[in-house]
Each structure stands twice: as C-alpha cells, then as structure tokens.
A and B are shown apart, each in its own frame.
Chain A
C-alpha cells in the first residue's frame, strides 16, 4: 500500500494558451497536514479540482490514496473536500443540505447532527442556509467535507470568513484529525495559520511548484536574519552600511535594518555599531517566518 496521500507527476492544465498548472510534481505523505500555498491565480484551486476529478488534466499523472486520478470513483468515497468556498442549496437548512449529500454519497445520516455540533452549528441546524453568515457557511462546508469520515481531507481556504475563535477551532480540528490518521491538504492565504499547523508544504508560483517538502526543511534552508534598530531612524543608514561593509546583504524594512547572516554575527554587529557611536534599541536574530519565505520564493510584494 502506498504511503502517500497525494502523489502527482508533471500534472498540467492548459486553458487556451495559458498554463494554469505546469508540470506540477509533489507528494503528500499519509497522516500529515500539508499546506498548499501560492499567490492568487497560481493554480492551487485548479490543482485541487484535477485531484477531485472535476476537471481533466491536460497532461501528467496523479494518485490519491493509491488510486489513479483517472478513476476518481475509486478514491472519492474516502475523500472529503471543500473547494472554492461552501456551496449549498439556499432554501434547505444546514441539516437538510448535509442529509442530501449523505444520501448522495451513500453515507449514514446518523453522523449529520454530530458533525453539525462538531463545527459549532448544532443550534442552527434547522435554519435555512441562506440565513447563515459567511463564517457559518464555511463551517457547514467543513462539516460536509467530514461526512465520509475521510482518509484525506482537501480544503480550499477553510478559514475564509471565520472569526479568530473560529480559525482557532478549525486549526484544532485539523490537528486532531491528523492525529487520528487523516491526511489534510489545505490551502490558505493565512500563512501564519499554516505555519502553525502544517507538517508539509507545497508552494506554487504561476502554476509551477517552487517548493515541496517538510515545513521544517523549508524554514531551516532560509538564511537567518538579524533585525536591528538604533535609537533614532537616522541610524538606519549607518547600520545598513556597517552590515554591507562586513559582507552581509541588508535592507531597511518596517523601520529596522534586516541583515542576512548567522545569529553569531549579532555580537560583532553590536560592537561595530557601538564603535560607530550608535546605541541599539533592538537586536534580534531570527529565522524568517513562512510569510517572509513565501514572499521571497514567489517573488510577491
């Protein structure tokens, strides 16, 4: 049995002359939470749609839970998904919508009420979907994705429209599902959230995979940064020049100097600043976070 939840090789989708996804190759191990990131229009949703059999790839191959994506009927009963936001019948209640999907997939409707309670919609189960707030719709979408008791959960921007408490609940839910052995493939623009929960990461840029692997590997591969500030903004240019003379790349960003270099150089930097008559008000060695890495790798911002 395959130990990957998702495995794609050279997966491509072309619309006219535009390559929406170009030769994407990546793997998502079983039982992990894999973040799927990329700027708007980078091909995340198109890739997810191909994996779910909603659109036909122009080229390449893929496997979900060991089955070819050419035969979605073989793996979809074990996959839960919410793609491009929740979509339900407005005139039916949340519960009726889930019962409809449970009937459709041949699942028991016994789990419906439990799932509604799990996502915090227990008391609004009988309200019509059209009366739900954006956050409630999102929660219903997540409940629908959980209907088949999935081995693989694919969620496209599941935290859209959720308040901070809701985001925290989704994070905890995904973590608990992963702990129980469910593989989670989740796209989100909230990179700080993904950084907190993801074990793996697939990063897309203009339809191409620019990184795939363990989150820790990505973060460790990044050049550490020393962030320094003087007592006044006038010191920034002088600090920049000290770093550059020492052979380090540096930029002024957000009212501080960001210097690429090992944490150990912070001592030398402090001494050089002192010799130049600058008293530092901040000197922080740190690894870039996912957001900074994302911008670095995708060339955004």
Chain B
C-alpha cells in the first residue's frame, strides 16, 4: 500500500497544486486570525457571521488558537475540494485503468490515496496553525489583548485540542469529498455539489428549521473543528453529538463508496 501512498504524494506535490493550495491556506489563515484582532472594536463583529469575540475571551488560554479554530471550517472546504478532485479526476482522465492494472487491489488503492491526501491535509493544518498562532501573537499587543495565558500549560493544551479537532474535521470533510468524487466521477460535479451543499443548502435548511442543525453533516464537522458548544447551554452543537453524528455520516459514505469502487466496472 505504501507504493500507492508514495506515488500519490508524487502527484500531490506538483507545484501548481501544492503551492496553490498552501498559498490559499496561508492567506486565509492570516486573514481569519488578523481580523479577530484588527476588528476587535468593530460593532459588526470580528469573527465569522458577525460574532463578537471580546478581549476577555481572547485573553483566555484558548485565545491564541481562536483564529486557528475559526479557519478550521475553511480548511475543511479546501480538503473537500482536493480530495474530490484528486479522486474524480482518475475517471475523467481515464487514469484509473492505469492504476488498477498496476495495482489491482482496489481497496488498497483507495486506502493509499486516502492516506496520501491525509498527509496533504496534515501539512495544510500544520501550516495553518503556524500562521494563525503567529498572526495572533504578533497582533495581540496592538489589539491590547493579553497573551500571558496562551503560553501556559492550558494554552498548550488548547492548541493541541484544537489541532486534533481540526484534523478530525478536515479529514471528515476530505472523506466526504472523496465519497462525492467516487460517486459522481467528475471533479466539477463533486466539488460543486459538495461546496453548494455545505455553504448554501445546509444553511438554508437550518434557517428554515433550526433543529436541523443537529443533523446536517457539514454543521457537525464544523462543530468538531470549533470544539463544539459547551454541554447543556441549549444552543449550538455539542462536541460529542457532532462527533457521533458526523462520524456516522462519514463512515456510512465511506463504506458505500468503497463498495461501489470495488465492485463497479471500470469502463471509461
């Protein structure tokens, strides 16, 4: 299987894909973190959807990773696009037949591609963490936010927890992208469907019926990235709920797509 992983990495490291994606990660990670501090006094809010994150919140041990946490959902969308495109393009280019002639173990091919793309996602996340935290550290004094607690044991724990949550969330989004790529066999269709669903359809449905938020796959994965709502406050998705429901969606999709991939004739 490692043959597949290494050959996929060879493909993923090509400059246009690798530098383009990492460039977007750097830009948006810097942007999300910077806006938290630069717009701290803005009446329109300084976080996503107009939320206000105050100086007091940013001064907590978790303050240093607020920006990183905010960009988690965006990293998920990037992962979805990369996983979907890299999977579906094997059908549109006709390269799947080359792959399967050289590696007939289809589940191994799928697992190898997944692991390689997982590495790619991990590089994205590490880079995003470095940029987000660095931007926060640089901008905190200017926004009069104390960063004393960020570097203590609680701060390091917050960084580790956020990092793990974002990995889980991003891999979840990526898996959905891979499933869509396998089902739709076209990068454009898979990315369009995935992004439209996550950014528009889910939000519309939740706007119409608020309780649907607890059952939408994108909302669960976004909640995992942000660490979920505190238990028992009544609003937002709790972490354990998001992990269970999101995990079920991802697992179900992965099983269905794997069965299809293994059994389906390769006739293009």
Contacts and interface: CB of A to CB of B under 8 A. Distances in A.
Given A84-B94, A88-B93, A88-B95, A96 B10 contact: yes
A17 to B, nearest CB: 17
Contacts of B3: 103-106
A55 to B, nearest CB: 4
Given A54-B265, A87-B93, A104 B104 contact: no
B102 interface: yes
Interface in A123-152: 144, 147-148
A79 B99 CA distance: 13
A87 B95 CA distance: 5
Interface string A80-110: 0101110111111000100111011110000
A178 interface: no
A120 interface: no
Contacts of A104: 3-4, 7, 99, 102-103
Contact of A89 (B93, B265, B266): B93
Interface string B190-208: 0000000000000000000
Nearest to A145: B101
A99 B93 CA distance: 17
Contacts of A55: 265-267
B116 to A, nearest CB: 11
B100 interface: yes
Contact of B97 (A73, A79, A87): A87
Interface in B1-21: 3-4, 6-7, 10-11, 14, 16-17
Given A84-B94, A96-B10, A104-B4, A76 B101 contact: yes
Contacts of B11: 89, 92, 100
Given A88-B93, A106-B3, A52 B101 contact: yes
Nearest to B105: A73
Nearest to A50: B265
A49 interface: yes
Contacts, number: 78
Nearest to B95: A87
Interface residues of A, number: 31
Interface string B13-41: 01011000000000000000000000000
A111 to B, nearest CB: 14
A282 interface: no
B100 A53 contact: yes
A83 B11 CA distance: 22
B244 interface: no
A224 interface: no
B101 A103 contact: no
Given A54-B267, A96-B10, A73 B93 contact: no
A75 B99 CA distance: 15
A81 B97 CA distance: 10
A54 B93 contact: no
Contact of B104 (A72, A87, A103): A72
A90 B14 CA distance: 12
B266 A105 contact: no
Contacts of A144: 98
Contacts of B104: 53, 72-73, 76
Contacts of B97: 49, 52, 54, 83-84, 87
Contacts of B95: 87-89
A79 B97 CA distance: 13
**Residue from the set B95, B99, B101, B263 with the largest chain A CB neighbour count within 10 Å:** B101
Interface of A: 49, 52-56, 72-73, 76, 79, 81, 83-85, 87-92, 96, 99-101, 103-106, 144, 147-148
20 contacts: A49-B265, A49-B267, A53-B100, A54-B265, A55-B265, A72-B104, A81-B101, A87-B93, A87-B97, A87-B98, A88-B93, A88-B95, A88-B98, A99-B10, A103-B10, A104-B7, A104-B102, A104-B103, A106-B3, A144-B98
